[in-house]
Amino acid sequence: MDSEQIDYQSLNYLSTVDHNLCCPICRSPLVDPVYTTCLHTFCSTCINKALERSQTCPVDRTPLQAEDVSPAPIMIANLVNELAVLCPNSELGCTFTCARYLVEAHLSHDCEFVYMKCRECGDKVLRRDAGRECLHQLEECTHCFQHIKKIDMEAHEKECPGLLGECMHCRLEIERSELKEHEFTCEEATISCSSSSLGCPWSGQRKELSHHQAACPFTFLRPVLQAHAERLTKLELENRTLRKRIEQLTPRINQSNTTEPLSFDEQAYQFLTEQEHMRQDMERLSATLGELEIKQGMLLMNESLRTKEELAGIRAAINGIRMQIHWLLTVRVHGTEHRHVVGGGAGTPSNSAGPSHPAEHSASRRLSDNFGQGVKL
């Protein structure tokens, strides 16, 4: 007889149950229903577990003690107890259905799928087999001659190595124990090329393999490819060890640098940016300076050119005036000498002026030459 308690909360019901008959905690139809002083109904195990955690009603959070819980009205208990359920052993094959309160009786007396003690040897056996002879005696399998318990014979027949099995490739009937071995030699089994690890995509029946391999480029290149693969794995291994070394060394380097690397780096960075700013400023300033110099030079040149011109003009004018004064002076000196020597005739000045004319002329020409030179300057 099965001494295990029935787990009512995991029973399967024949029809969907009104949610008002379900416990708000386990959401299954109430089992051993109780109700609280705030008038909420729960399974007794559910509310007891909940009260261990929190002394409040799970639905409305009013304070609640274990003594505030009492059995629900008998009508509610009857409603849930009379719900139709499937036998808990329905998965093993029992098709029995009954009202929930009858499940216990069904399991303890009728259900064929309850494990019981064998009358003869005391081992576990389903009730439906308990009446017959002991199923735990060994029996010889007619195919493989192994000794197997009667109770396990059904399962054994599914995998008995002595039974014939059909090869799925060549349809040959072989003993199951040899089927696996046959698979490795079956001419019609689908296999892939022996160079498939190198990338050959061919697959076909075993009997065609030799034909394929005669033309398979991967088989030809196999030695080369294999050497490459070996080299690759060697390099990978080396790479892995090196990476490990780096991983080991990096924290050490970081550690030795952690004393003040951050602040130093920051400072250096600040300085560098500042320097960069200054350099830019400098470049801008020197450009402006050059411009100004050129502008100033132009101005100066313009100004000095004009002054020089004026100066030259003035110099020329002064020269002219000087010549004139000089001429006037010489005229006057000559005049007094003439008057003095000749005794003065009114007509003579025109005569005496005659020979002096060329001199004046040349002087004026020279003057104009001078002037021209001055202008040129």
Which chain residues interact with other proteins by CB under 8 A? Answer: 9-10, 24-28, 46, 49-50, 52-54, 56, 58-59, 61
Q: Give Cα 208 distance to the centre of its chain.
A: 48
Nearer to other proteins, 50 or 102 (CB): 50
Give the Å distances, CA to CA, from 170 to 177, 182, 375: 17, 10, 126
Nearer to other proteins, 24 or 320 (CB): 24
Nearer to other proteins, 52 or 154 (CB): 52
Q: Is 344 left (phi over 0), alpha (psi -120 to 50) or beta?
A: left
Task: Give least dist CB 76 to other proteins, A.
Answer: 18
CB 149 within 8 A of CB 141: no
Task: Give least dist CB 42 to other proteins, A.
Answer: 9
- Strand ranges (DSSP E) for the chain? 33-36, 41-43, 69-71, 84-86, 97-99, 115-117, 124-126, 138-140, 147-149, 164-166, 173-175, 190-192, 203-205
Nearer to other proteins, 15 or 263 (CB): 15
User: For residue 8, what are its two tokens?
Assistant: 């009512």
Nearer to other proteins, 62 or 95 (CB): 62
Task: Give least dist CB 62 to other proteins, A.
Answer: 11
CA-to-CA distance for 72 and 57, rounded, in angstroms? 16
Nearer to other proteins, 30 or 160 (CB): 30
Task: Give least dist CB 29 to other proteins, A.
Answer: 10
Total residues belonging to the chain = 377
Task: Give least dist CB 114 to other proteins, A.
Answer: 19
Task: Give least dist CB 18 to other proteins, A.
Answer: 15
User: For residue 101, what are its two tokens?
Assistant: 């309160």
